[in-house]
Structure 1
């Protein structure tokens, strides 16, 4: 990919339309093989970044997409066009997943439109940089837990009555939930919580034939990066990985396809690390 120039954005979780260079959401060589034909998938944070990439891959594999996002309406419209170009139906719903009532209402709208839910991708999230613990306000702490873990719980709970044997829940974790990040203490804590939630829920739902897993990306070129970090940090992002570069959303999304499809039928309670070779200790 092109060298990333220094850049920042002034809103969280950021806008796809402002990324320079644009991110790649699906590789030109990716060929769909109807792995998700007839399935209904909810993807949170589907307007941009990893969520958009997952939605497009699922669409190419034959799924119907319910795209949940906060308020990035232009990004959502662009994502809808890309999903439609794959010949897939798309329902977009704007709102805050940190609101339990919104999650319940959104699930109801998806079931009303598509008749059920087969796959729930809990991907939406946010992060706020703080170089010292005392710089993390109560509001910033709650904002990150609300977006990253509360919403995951609310949506999974609302979707549970509609999930039948063979259904999948796939959560987006992070390298930071395992390795920690000194500048992202609150965010790292939420991602650690996601790991525990994923493993416990996988055990609870296994007897019902419902599989629960997570994907833990490393540094990926998404809007949350320039919306969180200073320009020079953004320009050097990914250089610390063994591969020496930031990853693309197109390089993460196939892991979600694997977990959502019949290929991942004997996998639950697990984490797929897509992080450019970063070593997880412990």
Structure 2
């Protein structure tokens, strides 16, 4: 496991908003995001369960895929465009003895989502867990800088995709299945330079709560919850923010550092497994100690 000193951020050059997904996207990020905790030992919490993870090729999604593999899940990883990253995650998942299927495409496209779910069902026959994790963000100092195209893109990736995914997988979800949505600390305290992103993350919280009480969902005993990350060190951070911002990243929370992707993974394991059998409509905050919902 990385020491606290090694967890501190030393930004190098990276092109803004390019690939933010393990191999090609992290080569210019120092230190590389840590997606696996070698001390984490699985105990079969997800044995033989089929889990679909959007944005599962790096960062939080990649860390969740690795943890799920250690817990015995069969994985379907949906990713946008980074073939190297997806291949690296699939390779590690298989090294851990788990099955993995990767599917390339845009989860903000309803037609792609339907085709992807068909492939997953053809491979595995059913679905037990859906992790809605894909997301993107773009800095804008003023609301006037947010173009209609950017607004549409951010909402399609961050929240429309969740509607598309749930609609497509619902007929194939086993009784007692779990849905986990990735929201953000910005849903609760906002972000003055991530207006559209914060709005989508707030929408995800409301979507999670509303979906958890939907009668069709309850009729199949499906639990719906969320995870709200705080400052997590993923390739998306240097791809989004200035060097000055990145130098300060994670310094405004009580733990005084950014979190690593692997530190999020156990929250997803808990919400995906039967350990959380009496938990639905809730959001777990993994944010270094910032109190945002008290």
TM-score range relative to shorter protein: over 0.9
SS at match of 2:121: helix
Q: Any idea what the Cα deviations from partners look like across 1:12-61, whole Å, max 9, x if unmatched? A: 45243323211111212111000000100000101000000000000100
Q: Any idea what the Cα deviations from partners look like across 1:251-280, whole Å, max 9, x if unmatched? A: 101000000111010000000000001111
CA distance in 1 between counterparts of 2:113 and 2:84 reads: 22
Equivalent in the alignment of 2:203: 193
Q: Which runs of 4+ in 1 moved over 6 A?
A: none
Equivalent in the alignment of 1:224: 236
TM-score by length of 1: 0.97
Equivalent in the alignment of 1:208: 220
CA distance in 2 between counterparts of 1:137 and 1:13 reads: 21
RMSD over aligned CA atoms reads 1.2
Equivalent in the alignment of 1:55: 65
2:9 to 4, 8, 21: 4
Aligned residues: 282
CA distance in 1 between counterparts of 2:170 and 2:220 reads: 11
Alignment of 1:1-282 (within 5 A): 1=4, 2=6, 3-7=8-12, 8-12=14-18, 14-17=20-23, 18=26, 19-204=29-214, 205-281=217-293
CA distance in 2 between counterparts of 1:63 and 1:6 reads: 35
Task: Label 1:237 to 1:252 Cα distance change in 2 as closer, same or farther (>3 A).
Answer: same
Contact 1:13–1:126 (CA<8 Å) still a contact in 2?
A: no
Contact 1:12–1:126 (CA<8 Å) still a contact in 2?
A: no
Contact 1:216–1:274 (CA<8 Å) still a contact in 2?
A: yes
SS at match of 1:80: helix
TM-score by length of 2: 0.93
CA distance in 2 between counterparts of 1:53 and 1:180 reads: 25
Contact 2:22–2:88 (CA<8 Å) still a contact in 1?
A: no
Contact 1:100–1:151 (CA<8 Å) still a contact in 2?
A: yes
SS at match of 1:201: helix
Bigger mean CA offset, 233-242 vs 13-22: 13-22
How far 1:238 sits from its partner (Å)? 0.3
SS at match of 2:176: coil
Contact 1:6–1:232 (CA<8 Å) still a contact in 2?
A: no
How far 1:9 sits from its partner (Å)? 3.0
Q: Which runs of 5+ in 2 are unaligned?
A: none
Contact 1:44–1:121 (CA<8 Å) still a contact in 2?
A: yes
CA distance in 2 between counterparts of 1:12 and 1:214 reads: 27
Contact 1:96–1:102 (CA<8 Å) still a contact in 2?
A: yes
How far 1:281 sits from its partner (Å)? 4.8
